[in-house]
Amino acid sequence: MKIGILGLGLIGGCLGLDLGSQGHDILGVSHRESTCKKAIELGCVHQASLDLSLLVSTDIVFICTPIGLIVPQVAQLASYLPKTTILTDVGSVKAPLVAEISPLWSNFIGGHPMAGKTDTGIDFAQRNLFVNRPYVLTPVATTPTRAITVLEEIVRSLGAIIYHCQPEQHDHAVSWISHLPVIVSASLIASCLSETDTTILHLAKNLASSGFQDTSRVGGGNPELGVMMAQYNRDPLLNSLQHYRQNLDEFIQLIEQQQWNTLEEKLKINQQARLDFLTKC
Amino acid sequence: MKIGILGLGLIGGCLGLDLGSQGHDILGVSHRESTCKKAIELGCVHQASLDLSLLVSTDIVFICTPIGLIVPQVAQLASYLPKTTILTDVGSVKAPLVAEISPLWSNFIGGHPMAGKTDTGIDFAQRNLFVNRPYVLTPVATTPTRAITVLEEIVRSLGAIIYHCQPEQHDHAVSWISHLPVIVSASLIASCLSETDTTILHLAKNLASSGFQDTSRVGGGNPELGVMMAQYNRDPLLNSLQHYRQNLDEFIQLIEQQQWNTLEEKLKINQQARLDFLTKC
């Protein structure tokens, strides 16, 4: 198959490596000449160009740009591609994208591979990033069955575990387990900085260990990504944040009122719930 | 030196292993016969007993029991030991303990080794747990210099990095980087459970990945430990929680009001601050 990859970052690069190794013909487009060169050098793509017209004869195109560019890119691609070309994206938010793209391109399926690395960029592309990772697909009622079948087959060939759901269900689910943790964790870092006694702040820094390190990790991550997810998944995220705030207030109240037995009960439920959450079903 | 270890859990066991290997004579006391046997088998102690009187001729005793038992144990020990014996503890809260113990025993120094493992209990005792880890000591104005010198020498021999501070400073510092993260993280788990749409909850569980795993880790930890730290470090923790809540509300407001530039600025400051925090000074 001729597979196009638009946006040659970590995810685009990893897709290219895996799919190229299966014998597909991989065509990449980036907005930077140096990235095009690197993508060919690293074996992520067979051909690369700054020009969208490279993708004109592809069977399927994976759009791997930052979320904010996905809709504009589809609008541009629409004038180059035959109507049979399947389009899919890898953005971490689905409902607003699917709503905007569906009227532009019927052979579009929203996608979200739940895979990544701390290091970003094509330099860190590797084989088998998607193996045993969830890969969400959000076809809608009007999506042609053929497009779903073709994309599913490719995703399955990456070793990923496919989940189907509505775009809105995806966005609510990731608001809990992916976007809420970012704000929770960011607020932790910000609040530590509010300590005005420099001796205590200095001591806190020196004593900070794995507990602080893990809890603050996603809140200290890529700021552009953080803003994107808040911007594109605003309503589900605000809903999650309101629930979070209520739960936080309950914990504060239990500590204020010294209700230690109830606190212990809640922490026991939590301990079990986390194990359940991390055991896939 | 004759070194006593009262409470043979992970920390007590690790102290025994390291100090015993240096040629000290290690005497352990536990409230369980089976733990005494195991401590000898594992080489953590040379002698072990259920009876505090075993410690009568020790030069120094490390009290490694749960926080709630430290003061009562010191009160009991006081009738057995010569006044010259140095007492120290390893509890994660210092001010209330130091305040209660100082009038009972002048040769007492509060201590807190910032080391641990996910697995607890003497079965998981290992050599060199304290190497390059912070070890806080909180002597007060009346603490005899000799006691400080002796304890410092032992702690240094473990390979730990010694920090001196007032008990209150310790408690404020750990409320930021150790106790606040527990409640922040616990509230995350509790709020995810508040999702009432079972399809979304099920999907969230299946999609939960390293971000959720790391941010929820300390909130899904040992419930008894969580209650102890809240109980003994209540005021500093409540202070940290109030600051946290303000910072959380600021983030919520930025998202509600769609102030994306300000949000990005804050996330950028966070990203840098976290790196600073984790670079020891």
CB contact under 8 A, B165 and A203: yes
Q: What residue ranges in chain A does DSSP mark as E strands?
A: 2-6, 25-29, 47-49, 60-63, 86-89, 108-113, 134-138, 161-164
- Chosen for mutation from B172, B206, B261 (greatest number of chain A CBs closer than 10 Å) is B206
**Chain B residues within 8 A of A134 when measuring between CB atoms:** 206-207, 209
Name the residue facing B207 among A136, A237, A250 (closest C-beta). Answer: A136
Two structure tokens written together for B221? 């930890």
pLDDT of amino acid A116: 80
pLDDT of amino acid A281: 56
**Chain A residues within 8 A of B134 when measuring between CB atoms:** 206-207, 209
Chunk chain A into consecutive blocks of 10 residues (it has 281) and report each block's average pLDDT, rounded to whole numbers: 97 97 98 97 97 96 96 94 97 96 96 86 95 97 97 98 98 97 98 95 94 95 94 98 98 98 97 89 56
Looking at CA atoms only, how far is residue A121 from chain B in angstroms?
18
CB contact under 8 A, B215 and A266: no
- B266: amino acid identity, one letter: K
Measured between alpha carbons, how far is B281 from B161 in angstroms, rounded to an integer? 12
**Chain B residues within 8 A of A191 when measuring between CB atoms:** 176, 180, 240, 243-244, 246-247
Residue keyed to tokens 């670079």 = B279
Integer angstrom CA distances of residue B246 from B242, B249, B257, B261: 6, 5, 16, 20
- Report the 10 Å Cβ neighbour count for B49: 15
CB contact under 8 A, B207 and A255: no
CB contact under 8 A, B200 and A169: yes
pTM: 0.92
Measured between alpha carbons, how far is B230 from A163 in angstroms, rounded to an integer? 40
- Report the 10 Å Cβ neighbour count for A44: 25
pLDDT of amino acid A278: 87
The pLDDT tens digits for B13-65 are 999 999 999 999 999 999 999 999 999 999 999 999 999 999 999 999 999 99
* A236: Cβ contacts below 8 Å, ≥ 6 apart: A171, A172, A174, A175, A179
Measured between alpha carbons, how far is B106 from B102 in angstroms, rounded to an integer? 6
pLDDT of amino acid B281: 56
Q: Residues A193, A197, A198, A204: is their CA dihedral positive or negative?
A: negative
pLDDT of amino acid B117: 75
With beta carbons less than 8 A apart as the criterion, state whether B56 and B83 touch: no
**Chain A residues within 8 A of B215 when measuring between CB atoms:** 181, 184-185, 214-215, 217-218
Name the residue facing A255 among B136, B176, B238 (closest C-beta). Answer: B238
Integer angstrom CA distances of residue B232 from A216, B71, B81, B185: 24, 12, 27, 19
Segments of chain B with pLDDT less than 70: 280-281
> What is the β-pairing status of strands B108-113 and B134-138?
antiparallel
CB contact under 8 A, A258 and B114: no
CB contact under 8 A, A163 and B255: no
CB contact under 8 A, A227 and B264: yes
Locate the chain B residue with the closest alpha carbon to A277: B205
CB contact under 8 A, A227 and B263: yes
CB contact under 8 A, B207 and A165: no
Which among B102, B58, B31, B215 has a CA at the least distance from the CA of A181?
Answer: B215
CB contact under 8 A, B271 and A222: yes
Looking at CA atoms only, how far is residue B215 from chain A in angstroms?
4
Looking at CA atoms only, how far is residue B174 from chain A in angstroms?
6
Two structure tokens written together for A85? 């070309």
The pLDDT tens digits for A56-105 are 999 999 999 999 999 999 999 999 899 999 999 999 999 999 999 999 99
- Report the 10 Å Cβ neighbour count for B121: 13
Which among B31, B61, B27 has a CA at the least distance from the CA of B47?
Answer: B27
Name the residue facing A180 among B186, B188, B193 (closest C-beta). Answer: B188
CB contact under 8 A, A176 and B204: yes
Looking at CA atoms only, how far is residue B114 from chain A in angstroms?
7
Measured between alpha carbons, how far is B2 from B45 in angstroms, rounded to an integer? 11
